Structure 1
Amino acid sequence: MKLIETNYKSSVLKEAITPFGHIYFFNNYIVSEAKEGVNLDWNFFQETLKIITNYYGTNRKISLISNRVNNYSVVPTIWLDFYRKNPNNILKSMSFVTYTKLAYSNARLESSFFNCKTECFTNLEEAINWTENLTPFISKQI
């Protein structure tokens, strides 16, 4: 179910529309929904990281919920590049919301490349509840 079809839409603080899909900003997390058929490559990660840091700043750890309502491709090992090129990891947690068995299996594989808390869910509400119940955000001191 798309985020805009839920009761959470009224809590969205900002929406960013990119060539890759939608990014919804909340107080303590982000929900992303990629467009049908896109290939999430390094350009996607760079653009998304820029949008996130412009909104939250660079000193805040964030939780990301990937609401996989559409079919698209992502190479899981791209996360190795993400961590190598971004040593000041901004990810506090990553959760995947999947709607098919294949998407769930792919998310499980992808989660093994993360250097943060990860979890897979079959509905958006469970992912949001899990994310909201993580320990509070702590800004890094510079």
Structure 2
Amino acid sequence: MTFENSEFFKLKHFKLEKPFGNFYFFETFFISEVNEGVHFDWNMIQEVMDYIVEFYGITAKLGYISNRINSYSTNPHTWNKVKNKYNIIIAGAIISYTKTTFLNASLEKELSKTKIKRCLSLKEAIEWILDLNEFKKEEIHF
């Protein structure tokens, strides 16, 4: 399910539209939806990541949700390149809608130094990201 057709579309967000996909920015995470048939290469990733750094700041710590509603390709080692260059993504969730996407996500999970969860829905991915200790607000006790 696309983000825009989901119950979560009502959440406050900023949309970045690129010729190769759409990206939705929230307070502590962002969602990508790459277009059908695209090879999401390093140049495209850098273009988005540079914008993310500009939007959130260089010291941000974010969750990333890859909503794989379309079939596209990317290098499974990209997670580590992004971590080495930007170091702002603390965890990622990959939403799989097909067996092939799930297998690709499994390979990415094995190769990545970033914590990755394979999910079956947008709801599962968002709940997992928001439940990470890094994003829980400190409770104040009096």
Tell me the residue number matched to 2:23: 23
Tell me the residue number matched to 1:135: 133
1:41 Cα deviation from its structure 2 partner? 0.6
- In structure 1, distance between residues paired with 2:117 and 2:132: 12
**For residues 5-20 of structure 1, what are the structure 2 equivalents within 5 Å?**
5-20=5-20
Structure 2-normalised TM-score? Answer: 0.89
- In structure 2, distance between residues paired with 1:105 and 1:92: 22
- In structure 2, distance between residues paired with 1:133 and 1:54: 25
Tell me the residue number matched to 1:48: 48
Identity value in percent: 35
Which structure has more RCO (C-alpha within 8 Å, separation ≥ 6)? 1
Structure 1-normalised TM-score? Answer: 0.89
- In structure 2, distance between residues paired with 1:80 and 1:14: 26
Q: Match for 1:58: what amino acid?
A: I
- In structure 2, distance between residues paired with 1:50 and 1:102: 30
Report the CA distance shift for 1:67/1:55 in structure 2 as closer, same or farther (over 3 A).
same
- In structure 1, distance between residues paired with 2:27 and 2:115: 19
Q: Match for 2:69: what amino acid?
A: V
- What does the per-residue CA deviation read over 1:65-113, in whole Å, with 9 as the maximum and x for residues that have no partner? 00000000111123343344x1x51111011001011110101101223
Q: Which runs of 5+ in 1 are unaligned?
A: none
Tell me the residue number matched to 2:82: 82
Contact 1:60/1:137, CA 8 A, preserved across alignment: no
Tell me the residue number matched to 2:72: 72
